[in-house]
Amino acid sequence: MSKIHNFSAGPGILPAEVLKQASEACINFDNMNLSLLEISHRSKNYEAVIAEAQSIIKELFEVGNDYEVFYLGGGASLQFAMVPYNLLRENGTAAYLNTGVWATKAIKEAKLLGNVNVVASSEDKKFTYIPKGYAIPTDADYLHITSNNTIYGTQIKEFPKCPIPLVCDMSSDIFSRKVNANDFTLIYAGAQKNIGPAGSTMVMVKKDALGKTGRKMLSMLDYNVHIKGGSMYNTPPVFPIYVTMLTLKWLKANGGVAWIEKLNQQKADLIYNEIDRNSLFYGTVAKEDRSNMNVCFLMHKPELEIEFDKFWKDANISGIRGHRDVGGYRASIYNAMPIESVQVLVDVMKEFEKKFA
């Protein structure tokens, strides 16, 4: 079978060894002669999976016992509502940085629960840059940011020094680079970009930030309920959490975040250098804010897109068509993307220029 170079924006690529282990667990999990998909989530075998998935998150983030880690369903989109529900006080105000579609959706949900102060936005230039130098209100309950924007291809390179609790949606670049996680009060991430398959969402929160809203809490939306329940207040997304655990173990075994950050920078440099060199292509966002996860680019001659599509499809490349809001192309180069696949795309771009420039 020919290798497919999968640049899908999400669900994204997973390590081959993780896929193999996960497929085997579907038949015989933990030598139980039972499928992972049919055992009790409260069995000791699966409780060990949850515990390890939680433990590795804290280890990779280098945080202590003042943080809790738990897994939920609902994707990051559910967290757009759960974050203000658990952190925004009644009659309080939340601050938000608007850098794209997902931040806009988070703002919309927060407004249903209280006052929202949008401290800065890049919507004026179609989210092609990251705002800088904005003032952070010291009386807000928290500041919410989105570290990486998959649709537009921007990424926060330097996180704000925050006098209030800092909340971050890291769905599309979690563990792609070193961050000081202790600077954040809450980090959440849908797994399907960088740490697992679709279906589970990781939340890590400082324990002392909870229980201060003054509202009566619905059980399923209360972080403390899920913490107390050990991610098992209700039946968790069993298989996605297991694959996330395997992916985290893969990352740790290969050298952790420091190792993958170096590799991710090499991949990003390789493709961005070709975009800047190639006479047929150009990048869509401010160079200083370019994402190392989602590389967005357009053609100077859009009429050639049909021909370029033939080139990359013939090279067994998949998933590089841009989001409908941007058009053109988007190469998502998440952690599991090998640099060899990026080189294939770069070679295709070079060959295309030779023929059509």
Catalytic machinery residues: 102, 169, 193
Nearest to 268 by CA among 176, 159, 348: 176
The answer to whether 57 touches 220, Cβ cutoff 8 Å, is no
Report whether 77 contacts 52 (CB < 8 A): no
Q: CB 301: neighbour CB atoms within 10 A?
A: 14
Q: How many CB atoms lie within 10 A of CB 140?
A: 22
Question: Strand 93-98 and strand 115-121: pairing?
Answer: parallel
Write down the residue that tokens 């006479």 correspond to.
279
Residue 29: Cβ within 10 Å count: 23
- Is residue 51 classed as helix, strand or coil in its secondary structure? helix
Q: How many CA atoms lie within 13 A of 61 on its CB side?
A: 28
Give the number of other CB atoms < 10 A from CB of residue 121. 18
Residue 132: which residues within 8 A CB-CB, separation 6 or more? none
Per the listing, tokens 């209360």 go with: 222
Asked if residues 70 and 200 have their Cβ atoms less than 8 Å apart, the reply is: no
Place of tokens 């002669």: 33
In sequence order, what are the residues at sequence separation of 6 or more whose Cβ sits closer than 8 angstroms to the Cβ of residue 175? Answer: 60, 194, 195, 248, 251, 257, 260, 335
Distance CA 148, CA 293 (A): 8
